[in-house]
Chain A
Amino acid sequence: MADCPAATGVSRDLAGLAVLAAGLAIVPAVAPSAYVMALLNIVGLYTIVTVGLILLGTSGQVSLGQAAFYGVGAYGSALLARDLGWSPWLAMPGAVVLVVATAYAVGLPALRLADVFFVLATLGVGIIVNVLMIQLDPLTGGASGLRDIPPLAIGGRPLTTDREYFYVIWTVALAALVVARNLTTRRTGRALRAILGSEIGAAALGIDVPRYRMRVFVLSAAYAGAAGALYAHYVRFISPSPFALYASLFFLIMAVVGGLTNIWGGLFGAAAVTALDQIVRAQMPRLFPRIGGEYQTAIYGIVLILIMIFFPSGIARGGIDLRRLLRGDAAGPATDRPAAADVVSGGSRKRAFGRRPRVRSEEEAWASPLTETSRRPQVPARGDAPASPPVGTTTENPHA
């Protein structure tokens, strides 16, 4: 069995972690303003969610419903702490338990669906949960939300400043990263990547595919729920609007920017997208003085498109793809191969059901399904018609 690339990077990862922790420890001392601290806290929360989403991505699944779990964690913890009087340190794990239960309930029917339909099922769940947040007014406060959520307290003294929350949030974020990294380098990670490569193949190797898929789905939900619970006690006021579909897409963009199989990409993605968001919010009103509303969706949309076309394994990994591309290797199957398989299985409809090519290079085995791009092969020429003129009369230009 080939060496796990991740295993050989153990010391590198630990060193990176140490550097990160050290850097984070001194940040509050050098932060220029409370606004920056608050921003970093939000980045920390988003990192947790994104790492969870990326964990899910290592098994080849994408969820567009993370905002729902984020929200259930937030509302759960807020209600447990505010209305039932639990200490926030108990309410947060309690909320995570609630999120885990929800994820199990959602996953049981949803995980039986093929890739694309699973994504859409999570999308549906996200929307349903968001609607319930708004509609179940007596419980959730409706569209106006919940206020007066108790803050976290250490030793009886409530945490009040962004600086104090910074330490709590980033400790949890670091723990999340460590756990995720351990998962992906151990047997679980290998099992997930085997599932990513071929579910039938993984099952043939004795991997309990449904169990792993469910567990990673629940884990990613738990990550989002934990972040949500922290969020609730940090900002102490929650409403349904940060937990809408837009947030799920936002998390997806962060995961995609960071690289859907790269755990450290979670940190990079969350930071990069938040930074981009800040820049956009600062600069756009200068260019278009009249605008209001979510104009940044245009930019995120274009960013998403560009990344999925050119850097589907994330910008951090984008360099690797470009190098292989320039060397002339096809980074994935040649355009002809899916077509050849179509002859056997018949019909382009089949393509949409997560059929993955049978032969995968080792690089592909560590990539997510979203990195399967058929780069333009050098030979034969890109186009749809065979190289020689097709039989019969046609005015179609084969290289259109």
Chain B
Amino acid sequence: MLALFPQLLLTGLTIGSIYALVAVGFVIIYNITGILNFAQGEFPMIGAMLCAALLAAHVPLAPAAAGAIVAACLLGALVERLAIEPAFGSHPLTLVIITFGVSMAFRGLALLVWGADPYALPEFTPGAPLAVLTGVLGRQAMWAIGLSVVVVIALFGFFARTLPGAAARACADNPFASRLVGVSPRRMALLAFTVAAGVGAIGGIVIAPITGATYDMGLGLGLKAFVAAVIGGLTNAPAAVLGGYIVGTIESLVTGYLAPGYGSAITFALLLIVLSLQREGLWQTVRRRQV
């Protein structure tokens, strides 16, 4: 029984890496715009499906992946311009519902364009898996975990060291004041969505060789990544990454030790527990309620 544990843990970390990447996108958008973007889970799906489509057109893997990521970024920007920006200033619930609408639209469009069949993506570096402890870690899984860490570090560098990143941080901190110094919150919102879409697409492309790509993989990803982000406190990106790994590990352990179907239920039970205990996650940085 306990012998399963290392393998389940490794699987959990693998799955957790995509939750981590999607959760990071959540946190970026939330920090800069205050919106909870429930279409976040669709960006991995788009990235994976576009990459699969490009591969089917005999484009080599690296340009296909790059093209898919760029296209996902453009779609993210499009979402911001078409669906979020017209409702700018609305009540947050309105915006959340809009993002649900966006997620439904993407899912339906993906179904129309690519059909319901799963698509396979090739591994980045095919080869024998690595034996870790008493478990096995596939090479693609190593890519997934490694890339998630690299992406988070790169994002940290972007936001900490570059001028657009500083502008984004200013906007996250105080949009009114940042307007006074010439930072446009609307442009920052565009940036947030673009970056989050790209990060999500990277996650989708790296995890698709392991799990396959289907048109409806986005909803579950988005919701579980949201749980991860909430665990991390919604404003703290490294904590969201950690939350992603926690969610992935718990889901893997539940799937292994209990029935497979309970994974989602336990994840959401965890969400409810975290919400009722801390209301904003384990790293509480925001007050719960305003007058």
Cβ-neighbour of A290 out of B34, B35, B115, B287 (below 8 A): B115
Residues of B within 8 A of A198 (CB): 291
Residues of A within 8 A of B100 (CB): 249, 252, 301, 304
Question: Contact at B92–A298, with CB atoms within 8 Å?
Answer: no
Separation in Å of the B176 CB from the closest CB of chain A?
4
Question: Contact at B187–A385, with CB atoms within 8 Å?
Answer: no
Question: Contact at B97–A298, with CB atoms within 8 Å?
Answer: no
Binds B, one of A80-88, A211-219, A391-399: A391-399
Tell me if B219 is interfacial: C-beta within 8 Å of chain A.
Answer: yes
Tell me if B268 is interfacial: C-beta within 8 Å of chain A.
Answer: yes
Question: Contact at B265–A128, with CB atoms within 8 Å?
Answer: yes
Tell me if A144 is interfacial: C-beta within 8 Å of chain B.
Answer: no
A79 to B192 Cα, complex, angstroms: 49
Binds A, one of B64-72, B143-151, B177-185: B177-185
Tell me if A113 is interfacial: C-beta within 8 Å of chain B.
Answer: yes
User: Quick one: closest B residue to A333, CB to CB?
Assistant: B89
Tell me if B166 is interfacial: C-beta within 8 Å of chain A.
Answer: no
Tell me if B4 is interfacial: C-beta within 8 Å of chain A.
Answer: no
**CB under 8 Å from chain A, chain B span 70-115:** 83, 86-94, 96-98, 100-109, 111-112, 115
A356 to B182 Cα, complex, angstroms: 27
A302 to B106 Cα, complex, angstroms: 9
Tell me if A323 is interfacial: C-beta within 8 Å of chain B.
Answer: no
**CB under 8 Å from chain B, chain A span 291-350:** 291-305, 308-310, 312, 332-333, 335, 338-340, 342-343, 345-350
Task: Give the total of B residues in contact with A, Cβ under 8 Å.
Answer: 73
Tell me if B288 is interfacial: C-beta within 8 Å of chain A.
Answer: yes
By DSSP majority rule, is chain B's interface helix, strand, loop, or mixed?
Answer: helix
**CB under 8 Å from chain A, chain B span 194-231:** 219, 223, 226, 230
Tell me if B174 is interfacial: C-beta within 8 Å of chain A.
Answer: yes
Cβ-neighbour of A352 out of B30, B108, B111 (below 8 A): B30
Tell me if B259 is interfacial: C-beta within 8 Å of chain A.
Answer: yes
- Size bracket of the A interface: 35 or more
A335 to B102 Cα, complex, angstroms: 24
Separation in Å of the B217 CB from the closest CB of chain A?
14
**CB under 8 Å from chain A, chain B span 251-291:** 259, 261-262, 264-265, 268-269, 271-272, 275-276, 279, 286-291
A29 to B31 Cα, complex, angstroms: 58
Cβ-neighbour of B105 out of A298, A349, A369 (below 8 A): A298
Residues of A within 8 A of B106 (CB): 298, 301
Tell me if A109 is interfacial: C-beta within 8 Å of chain B.
Answer: yes
Tell me if B50 is interfacial: C-beta within 8 Å of chain A.
Answer: no
For B122-146 the 0/1 string (1 means CB < 8 A from A) is: 0000000000000000000000000
Residues of B within 8 A of A369 (CB): 91, 93-94
Binds B, one of A89-97, A130-138, A149-157, A230-238: A130-138
Question: Contact at A245–B265, with CB atoms within 8 Å?
Answer: no
Residues of B within 8 A of A302 (CB): 101, 105
A355 to B121 Cα, complex, angstroms: 45
Tell me if B25 is interfacial: C-beta within 8 Å of chain A.
Answer: no
Question: Contact at B279–A113, with CB atoms within 8 Å?
Answer: yes
Residues of A within 8 A of B179 (CB): 339, 384-386, 390
Binds B, one of A20-28, A119-127, A162-170, A262-270: A119-127
Separation in Å of the A190 CB from the closest CB of chain B?
21
A332 to B183 Cα, complex, angstroms: 25
A119 to B95 Cα, complex, angstroms: 12
Binds B, one of A5-13, A38-46, A174-182, A370-378: A370-378
Residues of A within 8 A of B109 (CB): 298
Q: A349-B34, A390-B180 are in contact. Are A343 and B174 (CB under 8 A)?
A: yes
Given contacts A294-B108, A343-B177, A347-B174, 12 further A-B contacts (CB under 8 A): A120-B271, A121-B271, A135-B265, A198-B291, A252-B100, A342-B174, A346-B174, A354-B93, A369-B94, A383-B186, A384-B186, A396-B183
Chain B residues engaging chain A, CB cutoff 8 angstroms: 30-36, 83, 86-94, 96-98, 100-109, 111-112, 115-116, 171-177, 179-187, 219, 223, 226, 230, 235, 259, 261-262, 264-265, 268-269, 271-272, 275-276, 279, 286-291
Ordered by A's residue number, 9 sampled pairs between the chains whose C-beta atoms are within 8 Å are A112-B276, A115-B91, A120-B271, A131-B261, A132-B265, A339-B179, A343-B174, A352-B34, A396-B184
